[in-house]
Amino acid sequence: MLIRIADFLGRDFLGLVLVLCVLIVFFGLSSDYFFTALTFATMANQLPALLVVAVGMTFVLIIAGIDLSVGSVMALSGALLGFVLVELQWSIPYAIIACLSLGLLCGFGNGFVVARWGIPSFIVTLGMLEIARGGAYLVTGSQTLFIGSKVQWISAPLPLLSVSSGFVAAMIVVILGQIMLSRTVFGRHMIAVGSNDEAVRLSGISVRSIRVKVFCLAGFLAGVGGLFQVGYLQSADPNAGVGLELSAIAAVVIGGTSLAGGRGSVINTLLGVLIIAVLQTGLAQIGASEPSKRVITGVVIIAAVIVDVLRHRSGGIARYFKAFRRTP
Amino acid sequence: MLIRIADFLGRDFLGLVLVLCVLIVFFGLSSDYFFTALTFATMANQLPALLVVAVGMTFVLIIAGIDLSVGSVMALSGALLGFVLVELQWSIPYAIIACLSLGLLCGFGNGFVVARWGIPSFIVTLGMLEIARGGAYLVTGSQTLFIGSKVQWISAPLPLLSVSSGFVAAMIVVILGQIMLSRTVFGRHMIAVGSNDEAVRLSGISVRSIRVKVFCLAGFLAGVGGLFQVGYLQSADPNAGVGLELSAIAAVVIGGTSLAGGRGSVINTLLGVLIIAVLQTGLAQIGASEPSKRVITGVVIIAAVIVDVLRHRSGGIARYFKAFRRTP
Amino acid sequence: GGGNSETTTVKEKPIVALIVKSLANEFFVDMADSARAHQAAHADDYELIVNGLKDENDLSQQVTLLEQMTARGADIIVVAPADSKALIPAIKRARQSGVIVVNIDNQLDRDLLAEADIQVPFVGPDNRAGARLAAEHLATKLSAGDQVAIIGGIATAFNGQQRQLGFEDAMAAADINVVSTQAGNWEQARASSIASAMIAEHPDLRALLCSNDSMAIGAVAAVRQAGKTEQIQVIGYDNIGAARELLSQGDILATVDQYGDQLAIYGIEYGLQILRNGHVPADKQTPVRLVTADHL
Amino acid sequence: MTLPFLQITGLNKSYATPVLENTHLDISAGKVHALMGANGAGKTTLCNIICGITPADSGYMQRLGRPYQPDSILDAHHAGIRMVMQELNLIADLTVAENLFFERLPTRYGILNLEQLHTDAATLLHTVGINELSPSQKVGDLGIGQQQLLEIARALALPCQLLILDEPTAALSDPQVDLLFNNIKRLTAAGTAILYISHRMEEIKRIADDISVLRDGHTVFSGSAEIVSTQTLISHMAAPLDESAQGETTPAKTKPALRLRGIGRNERLRGIDLDIQYGEILGIAGLMGSGRTELLRAIYGADQINEGKIYPDVDKQPLKLKSPVDAVAHGIGLIPEDRKQQGVFLTQSIRFNVSFLSLNRLTNRWGWIDRVGEHKVIQQQIEALSIKCDSLDQPAASLSGGNQQKLSIARWLIRDCPILLFDEPTRGVDIHTKSQIYGLLRAQAAAGKAVVVVSSENSELTGLSDRIAVMSNGFLTATFEQGDWTSELITAAAFRGFDAARQSVHDK
Ligand SMILES: Nc1ncnc2c1ncn2[C@@H]1O[C@H](COP(=O)(O)OP(=O)(O)OP(=O)(O)O)[C@@H](O)[C@H]1O
Ligand SMILES: Nc1ncnc2c1ncn2[C@@H]1O[C@H](COP(=O)(O)OP(=O)(O)OP(=O)(O)O)[C@@H](O)[C@H]1O
Ligand SMILES: [Mg+2]
Ligand SMILES: [Mg+2]
């Protein structure tokens, strides 16, 4: 049973759990209030947007692509949601459909250009980053649109649980994502495209359509992120999600997904997101100064990946230290 | 002779020149003032920082790495320059040595972690991005340090020429960079590492040391960028170069350097930088609105790469359109 | 099209270039809009080009814009500087090539201006005084010894620093305890996560003082999450539309209006005045106004 | 007369220069059709056209009398045509079973049915007779020979009417070749047509029913295998063999170059003692997976050894080889077996590939690479190894497989290393060039260098070596001096390692 679980989770993730525990213990000792239900509940409710975007990013990295546009696309779809709710007075379901469809459309745009002309996704999504951001300014008239309680249910704590429906939805996305990745044919196809796209092509399977689908998925999930973000802030901010792509990629890579494609796990992405969230919350709780926040974040990002790499490379850190002593 | 020049320049760059010409003509027609010596001199004097950073990035991309920390490292070394000049009253030569050494050191840090533990450079330099930015805040005390005329000579127009010594220095960096890349053993080794590092390793050549050197070079050039930036602003700004990494990568990739490594040209990077500079200047001159600036920038980035890819792929655009018609 | 520099001497209408910090920021968008409206109403008097930075803190882009607008043939440049010192050399160069420069919003460093021997009139508000207004209003709702926290802008920003000082002045005067000060970098989401952490760390917190309204919106979300809407008051700055909605709901206690729309117009009129009679007018302090639910 | 399964007439294809010109070929059901030709003759290109991977410029194909015009590999699959490509095309991050059934992974309610997948894979591997692979192994961990077997198993997984095998045995040793041939017989008996490409003459003799020879894209011979002699075939492929290169060599005066003592690594190399000497060619024979590649990599410092020492000479301190950098500093060079992953720079030019290791000798006093000198050196190698190319700036990826192999050899030959380790150097190389390469290797030995050659073709080793060492299951089981060996003795030694392993378990 345990083996089956480990198998389901994709790969060994003890290195990450270790890093996470170290962080939690450290902040727990540094702050009297870190170990409170409130801290964890607020963290849980701030996660959803980054989490779903990071899940989409995981898939994109697995097919050896990259998506820099997620932050802007999130802002754009959130902006549209605000616009149709406030200016056009649409009802919530239609507004949500519009928001998610726009995310999907942006993702499709990325995927189409990448697959059709074989342009590196880095540059295509960098272009989309600018375009979608411009779009978000256009839609909102460069203003924060206030929506109010109409969208509050997304981030309001659920009865009985102290977490929001957004959080629950994001966890469902994680679980479905992991199942898709490790248990469906499409998941295998994604891994294969990231690992050797030429071999996939020679198997008579359309690499292009897989690529397009994955970028669509990432765009769609960015749209979902926009929905969560708007629900949380009750307003649509065209400047939302600036730099989100880098946080998302950091979370995914900390989770051990390879930037070279072919290898990754959604559950580990969740751990990566948790590491980043705990770090941010903890640093804010102990009231660290801005420069030290930056430096510590940078060091933790690198250290987390080093710990993970070492755990996988040669069967444990102990062995590594031996090797380290040997090599000057 | 012509063939030797074309050969020296690495690869065919007509697609880029085409894009550049289209932009220049377009802005020339849209604005009465675009075709003035002053406009071009202004452009030339704002280029150096981005240009040298992009040259360093070219090398990093050629070895199939990426360096996200260049903007922060530029700010950090600029900050140190300002600090030692203003607070410690060092003389200019020592201050410059300190500034460049710090850039080199950051680059070495990146290269060392990448090569020693085999961590993807994306994540290492993302960490360094945060660390160096925090460092820049620390060094300057989160203030812009005003230096004044001590460093003005870097950006002041040279006698006889209307361009600054910074620009001349940057052009020399470009030329030396291109020579290094296409004419020296180290250049060949870089290309080899980017196209098949396992083969390089099995050739008995140290891949690690090549990687470390390239990251050092990129860090050093970011330091040079910091010097130019400080000279240009006559002050050291800890917020300098936010997002510079993406502009630099965009310029390099527009210049046809492959993100997958093994292929690139410094001269084409220059063209990429020019495209971005002309675009920015032109849009500012016609007073385009912020949303349209963003959208146009995004479209031009993607379009420039598509044009370049098509020109190279099948001997010209005409042939491509045939292919397009066939495939639905 | 396709003119050359000769035409600059024969044009009839002066060109005014307005350079603001960011056209993605509601405050400056309002400013640009009202400047455009003003130009439309005085279409015979001048032409207008508005430019902003992609990133609010990109000083070198602002220097570049100054130079490009000089190259573009602008007669008057009205600038809201992203930094009070670093722009002075570029402004001096613009002055030397005969361009009239007016400083709005964020005041340039006077000593350096004097050192550089250039005269640049300033039109703008006193951010510190504005912040003090809002914080003083907050103080009336609290009692001495209460705990509050400040969420500031980007640490390097001059106006952010001024607002923070204003908040601190008022809190000190009322004997209220500022238990934490952190930079929210002007961003909603960031301010929200910082606010959450502050609320968890300081269970008795009574108020969050935010250096702009975007961050105040983020802080409100955090307060709502923690279920402490009754206990914790939020104040902002800038009086943007979304903040007014929250003000009327009672989620935000107060914000500050510094008439961004008027600033640019004053600046443009100053510039035109100098162009007409060569006389440099004195600096002008524009008003700041406290906005609370009662004022809506 | 029955209709051939596939009839190819007047096929043309050019890149920079023509590759196929008016090529014709008839492939009949139930027969093995061998396709031969020198490196770069156009064999792989022809197969790619049949499978719809490359479009032909002009020409005509008929399948069972109907026009056949594949636009993609899917069309070929639908027409019952499958291929084992010359280059490996596996997905390293998936398992053996997933690679085997990649196009039709079994599902239940949309979820992968892993149990069924593994049973199916086990069944298939059993039917095909490949016991070396387990379904749940990750392909990235397999040796190149095992990957080749997997490729073959993949092609055998589905019934087809024409199976194209493009040099399937290049990395296989004799037992696996027998296995493949048994499968081929099973298929032909069931009516499948086989198009078989190989440079190994004795295989063609064993298995072919029909033979065609391509020469510079022309079909220069087509006929029944029974009536044609080897000599005729060889003369059809190119100019007659230069027999002088084949002649016996007198062993030069030898002196020790490297002495391996008790080399061991992770159960794959066990207690190996071996002397390598200057002035002789040492052949290393063994079955697939016997550890030959591991041994060469260990000597080269590419993998770290756990036990044992390598001495440069008697009475000298052991070498410390932490990486290939150290090995090269001691004058050791390795030509790896996996040219695609470890040898050539596929995206780079021929110039780049050939001169790569000798750049330091080709710089002028400014540190610039002397292009004229470089050109001269490369031109020499291209002639010495008959590398077929259009220009020096052509990317290596556009060369035929055999010619790519020659690039990685050429690189080391001009480097001038005293100790050269060749891992399957003639993999995919045509017989003419093979004899040229043998000549070059002998010349190296005669010039006093130490040459070690690993090969899966025993006939190659017996013809070339001064001494032959045999590996089996990680043990070095025998060393033969010239004249002492026979094919039977070598084969016997190649199996002995398994007994030795059992023995050592018993002892414990
Ligand atoms: N993409 C390409 N661009 C240019 N030339 C090519 C390309 N592909 C193949 N060629 C050329 O076509 C010729 C035939 O190649 P092919 O791979 O068919 O040879 P082959 O007979 O299979 O040789 P080998 O025995 O070495 O595998 C070679 O000279 C090769 O250089
Ligand atoms: N990284 C690895 N992980 C697991 N097994 C490996 C690895 N590398 C090699 N092996 C196995 O070790 C054994 C020895 O391999 P080696 O490549 O040395 O054999 P070989 O005699 O050269 O045969 P061939 O090259 O034909 O496969 C093989 O069974 C091989 O599959
Ligand atoms: Mg071939
Ligand atoms: Mg081998």
Nearest Cβ partner for B36 among C1, C5, C23 = C5
Q: Tell me how close the Cα of D102 comes to any Cα of chain A, in angstroms.
A: 8
**CA–CA separation, C291 vs D2, rounded Å?**
97
- Is residue D400 domain-shared with residue D502, that is, in the same domain? no
Residue A328 lies in a domain: no
Please state the domain count of chain A. 1
B318 or C101, which is more confident: C101
In whole angstroms, how far apart are CA B287 and each of B30, B251, C72, C95, D16? 11, 23, 10, 21, 50
Residues of chain B neighbouring C81 (CB-CB closer than 8 A): none
Q: Which residues surround ligand 3, an ion (CB under 5 A)?
A: D 44, 86, 400-401
Confidence label for C11 from pLDDT (cuts 50, 70 and 90): low
- Strands in D450-454's sheet, in edge-to-edge order, are D332-335, D419-423, D450-454, D281-286, D467-472, D475-481
CB of residue D177 inside a 6 A radius of ligand 2? no
Residues of chain A neighbouring C200 (CB-CB closer than 8 A): 33-34, 36, 38-39, 42, 281, 285
CB of residue D142 inside a 6 A radius of ligand 2? yes
Pairing of strands D111-112, D307-311: unpaired
- Is residue D36 domain-shared with residue D178, that is, in the same domain? yes
Asked if A146 lies within 8 A of C198 by C-beta distance, the reply is no
Lowest mean pLDDT among A17-31, D85-99, D308-322: D308-322
Out of D23, D45, D204, D431, give the residue to mutate to test ligand 1, the one with the largest number of ligand atoms within 8 Å of its CB.
D45
- Is residue D190 domain-shared with residue D322, that is, in the same domain? no
B11: nearest CA partner in chain D? D393
CB of residue D337 inside a 6 A radius of ligand 2? yes
Q: What is the pLDDT of residues B66-95, one digit of tens each?
A: 999 999 999 999 999 999 999 999 999 999
**CA–CA separation, D240 vs A184, rounded Å?**
57
pLDDT of residue D1: 56
What percent of chain C has a predicted confidence (pLDDT) above 70? Answer: 96
Closest-CA residue to D471 (of D293, D344, D330, D207): D293
- Is residue D477 domain-shared with residue D496, that is, in the same domain? yes
A239: nearest CA partner in chain B? B291
Answer whether residue D289 shows pLDDT above 70: yes
pLDDT of residue D392: 87
- Is residue D55 domain-shared with residue D137, that is, in the same domain? yes
> If DSSP states are collapsed to H, E and C, what string results for D261-307?
EEEEECCCEEEEEEEEEECCEEEEEECCCCCHHHHHHHHCCCCCCCE
pLDDT of residue A316: 38
Q: Find the CATH number of the domain harbouring D481.
A: 3.40.50.300
Domain holding A262, by residue range, is 43-281+292-306
Helix A165-183 / helix A185-202 crossing angle, nearest 10 deg:
40
- Is residue D301 domain-shared with residue D423, that is, in the same domain? yes
What percent of chain D has a predicted confidence (pLDDT) above 70? Answer: 96
**CA–CA separation, C103 vs C266, rounded Å?**
10
Q: What is the pLDDT of residues C120-156, one digit of tens each?
A: 999 999 999 999 999 999 999 999 999 999 999 888 7
Q: Which residue's entry shows tokens 């939805």? A: A169
Which residue out of D77, D88, D93, D326 would a mutagenesis test of the A interface target, given it has the greatest number of A Cβ atoms within 10 Å? D93
Residue D64 lies in a domain: yes
Domain holding D382, by residue range, is 354-416
Three-class SS of residue D60? Answer: strand
Asked if B195 lies within 8 A of D348 by C-beta distance, the reply is yes
- Does any CB of chain A come closer than 8 Å to the CB of residue C180? yes
- Give yes or no for a contact between A248 and A270, defined as CB atoms under 8 angstroms apart: no
- Is residue D61 domain-shared with residue D191, that is, in the same domain? yes
The residues pairing with C148 across neighbouring beta strands, listed in sequence order, are C178, C207
Q: H-helix or E-strand containing D334?
A: strand D332-335
Neighbouring CB atoms inside 10 A of C261's CB total 17
For chains A and C, tell me whether 3 or more CB atom pairs sit within 8 A of each other: yes
In whole angstroms, how far apart are CA D94 and each of A209, B153, D135, D141, D289? 20, 60, 10, 10, 21
Asked if B302 lies within 8 A of A258 by C-beta distance, the reply is no
Residue D339 lies in a domain: no
Nearest Cβ partner for C183 among A31, A43, A290 = A290
**End position of a domain, from candidates D398, D416, D434:** D416
**CA–CA separation, D193 vs B226, rounded Å?**
69
CB of residue D129 inside a 6 A radius of ligand 2? no
**CA–CA separation, B171 vs D177, rounded Å?**
61
pLDDT of residue C23: 84
Query: Residues D66-73: what's their mean pLDDT?
Result: 91
Neighbours of chain A (3+ CB pairs under 8 A): B, C, D
pLDDT of residue A58: 97
Q: Give the atom of ligand 1 at the shortest distance from the alpha carbon of D86.
A: 27
Residues in chain D: 508
Q: What is the pLDDT of residues B200-252, one digit of tens each?
A: 999 999 999 999 999 999 999 999 999 999 998 889 999 899 889 999 999 99
Out of D148, D263, D270, D290, give the residue to mutate to test ligand 2, the one with the largest number of ligand atoms within 8 Å of its CB.
D290
Residue B180 lies in a domain: yes
Which residue out of A195, A200, A201, A313 would a mutagenesis test of the D interface target, given it has the greatest number of D Cβ atoms within 10 Å? A195
Q: Tell me how close the Cα of B255 comes to any Cα of chain A, in angstroms.
A: 12
Query: Separation of D291 CA from ligand 2 center, angstroms?
Result: 6
Lowest mean pLDDT among B160-169, C100-109, C256-265: B160-169
CB of residue D336 inside a 6 A radius of ligand 2? no
Query: Separation of D388 CA from ligand 3 center, angstroms?
Result: 12
Residue A19 lies in a domain: no
Phi then psi dihedrals of residue D283, to 5 deg: -90, 145
Residues of chain C neighbouring B38 (CB-CB closer than 8 A): 5, 70-71
- Is residue D73 domain-shared with residue D218, that is, in the same domain? yes
Confidence label for B307 from pLDDT (cuts 50, 70 and 90): confident
CB of residue D408 inside a 6 A radius of ligand 2? no
Neighbours of chain C (3+ CB pairs under 8 A): A, B
pLDDT of residue D288: 83
Query: Separation of D402 CA from ligand 3 center, angstroms?
Result: 7
Answer whether residue C158 shows pLDDT above 90: no
Q: What is the pLDDT of residues D374-432, one digit of tens each?
A: 899 999 888 888 888 888 888 898 898 889 988 989 999 888 889 999 999 988 888 88
Nearest Cβ partner for B291 among A128, A138, A296 = A138
Q: Tell me how close the Cα of B207 comes to any Cα of chain C, in angstroms.
A: 37
Lowest mean pLDDT among B85-89, B152-156, C187-191, D504-508: D504-508
Answer whether residue A136 shows pLDDT above 60: yes
Neighbouring CB atoms inside 10 A of B18's CB total 15
Q: What is the pLDDT of residues A275-299, one digit of tens each?
A: 999 999 999 888 888 889 999 999 9
Nearest Cβ partner for D73 among A187, A204, A262 = A204
Asked if A204 lies within 8 A of D94 by C-beta distance, the reply is no
**End position of a domain, from candidates D219, D237, D255:** D237
Please state the domain count of chain D. 3
Residue bearing the CA closest to ligand 1, atom 11: D399
Q: Tell me how close the Cα of A298 comes to any Cα of chain D, in angstroms.
A: 30
Confidence label for D249 from pLDDT (cuts 50, 70 and 90): low
Asked if C188 lies within 8 A of A237 by C-beta distance, the reply is yes
Answer whether residue A111 shows pLDDT above 90: yes
Answer whether residue A7 shows pLDDT above 50: no
- Does any CB of chain B come closer than 8 Å to the CB of residue C73? yes
Residue B316 lies in a domain: no
Query: Separation of A283 CA from ligand 3 center, angstroms?
Result: 60
- Strands in D32-37's sheet, in edge-to-edge order, are D81-84, D162-166, D193-197, D32-37, D210-215, D218-224
Q: Give the atom of ligand 2 at the shortest distance from the alpha carbon of D146.
A: 27
Q: Where are the alpha helices (DSSP H) in D163-262?
A: 174-189, 201-207, 230-237
- Does any CB of chain A come closer than 8 Å to the CB of residue C248? no
Q: What is the mean pLDDT of chain B?
A: 86
ipTM: 0.90
Residue A9 lies in a domain: no
pLDDT of residue A324: 33
**CA–CA separation, D167 vs D176, rounded Å?**
13
Residue A223 lies in a domain: yes
Q: H-helix or E-strand containing C178?
A: strand C177-183
In whole angstroms, how far apart are CA C116 and each of B46, C59, D90? 22, 19, 70
- Is residue D406 domain-shared with residue D430, that is, in the same domain? no
Answer whether residue C9 shows pLDDT above 70: no
Residue D145 lies in a domain: yes
Query: Residues C7-13: what's their mean pLDDT?
Result: 55
**End position of a domain, from candidates D362, D395, D416:** D416
Lowest mean pLDDT among B151-160, C27-36, D17-26: B151-160
pLDDT of residue B8: 46
The residues pairing with B190 across neighbouring beta strands, listed in sequence order, are none
**CA–CA separation, B99 vs B74, rounded Å?**
9
**CA–CA separation, D458 vs D438, rounded Å?**
14
- Strands in C47-53's sheet, in edge-to-edge order, are C47-53, C15-22, C76-79, C100-104, C122-124, C284-285
Residue B38 lies in a domain: no
Residue bearing the CA closest to ligand 2, atom 4: D141
Residue B30 lies in a domain: no
Residues of chain B neighbouring A113 (CB-CB closer than 8 A): 302, 306
- Is residue D200 domain-shared with residue D51, that is, in the same domain? yes
Closest-CA residue to D33 (of D204, D182, D173): D204
Nearest ligand atom owner, CA of D199: 1
Three-class SS of residue D170? Answer: coil
Q: Find the CATH number of the domain harbouring A180.
A: 1.10.3470
